[in-house]
């Protein structure tokens, strides 16, 4: 069991706390916030509640995302933009999703795309890195949910900025066609990539237009 009693999270989202493994700092340990799954279940619309609390457990959703066909095939080059997955492991704080940490040159957690954009804007280097990510998604047919700025991190590798997806694997389509069909997978991924670029535009804007409105207007272009 992983003992996190002497650890503090280095990051947190709406549903999970992220820790560095106390004995292996290159490993990330993600634990659900106490009581969060029950809270999400209580707030969910009626047509989702039949799935139970497990449906709202981000660790189980991440496990499902890593089990998709594209990752199970484990082709050469697959891990260019993904941290490796080490399964669900027990901690003193409950079950945790365990992956590689994406670290910068100083051994700290790599900055998110949002942090990069806030500091440098959408410069040529960042744009090229996101383009390589887009090409990789299509080539390997990796299914993701929306590619948002705090779920992507960047670090320099051999003088080139590399983007990693650290959260959001999986298929958000109501019908499972992208999971079983290459044709529908590529169509689905193209839509996710378009939304990613729209999100980047919004991140570097003044954000006076709410994201949902910005997105709906952008998709109609």
3-state secondary structure (DSSP) of residue 40: helix
At residue 49, the pLDDT reads 80
At residue 181, the pLDDT reads 95
At residue 220, the pLDDT reads 65
CA dihedral 163, 166, 167, 171 (to 10 degrees): 60
Instruction: Supply the pTM of this predicted model.
Output: 0.93
At residue 40, the pLDDT reads 83
3-state secondary structure (DSSP) of residue 171: coil
At residue 39, the pLDDT reads 87
At residue 115, the pLDDT reads 96
| 95 neighbors 88 (Cβ within 8 angstroms) | yes
- In which residue ranges of the chain is pLDDT below 50? none
| 81 neighbors 196 (Cβ within 8 angstroms) | no
At residue 52, the pLDDT reads 82
Going through the chain in order, the beta strands assigned E by DSSP cover 11-12, 16-20, 27-32, 85-91, 94-100, 152-157, 160-165
């Amino acid at each position: 069991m992983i003992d996190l009693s002497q650890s503090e999270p280095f990051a947190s989202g709406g549903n999970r706390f992220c820790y560095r493994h106390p004995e292996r700092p290159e490993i990330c340990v993600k634990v659900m916030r106490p009581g969060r799954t029950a809270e999400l279940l209580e707030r969910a619309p009626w047509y989702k509640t039949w799935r139970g609390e497990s449906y709202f457990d981000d660790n189980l959703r991440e496990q499902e995302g890593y089990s998709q066909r594209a990752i199970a095939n484990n082709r050469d080059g697959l891990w260019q933009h993904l941290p490796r997955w080490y399964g669900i492991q027990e901690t003193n704080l409950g079950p945790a999703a365990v992956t590689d940490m994406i670290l910068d040159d100083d051994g700290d957690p790599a900055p998110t795309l949002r942090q990069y954009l806030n500091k440098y804007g959408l410069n040529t280097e960042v744009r090229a890195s996101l383009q390589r990510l887009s090409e990789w998604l299509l080539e390997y047919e990796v299914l993701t949910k929306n590619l948002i700025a705090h779920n992507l991190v960047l670090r320099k590798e051999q003088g080139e900025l590399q983007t990693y997806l650290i959260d959001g694997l999986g298929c958000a389509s109501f019908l499972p066609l992208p999971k079983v069909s290459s044709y529908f997978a590529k169509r689905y991924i193209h839509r996710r990539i378009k939304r990613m670029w729209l999100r980047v535009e919004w991140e570097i804007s003044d954000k006076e237009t709410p994201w949902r409105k910005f997105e709906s207007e952008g998709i109609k272009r």
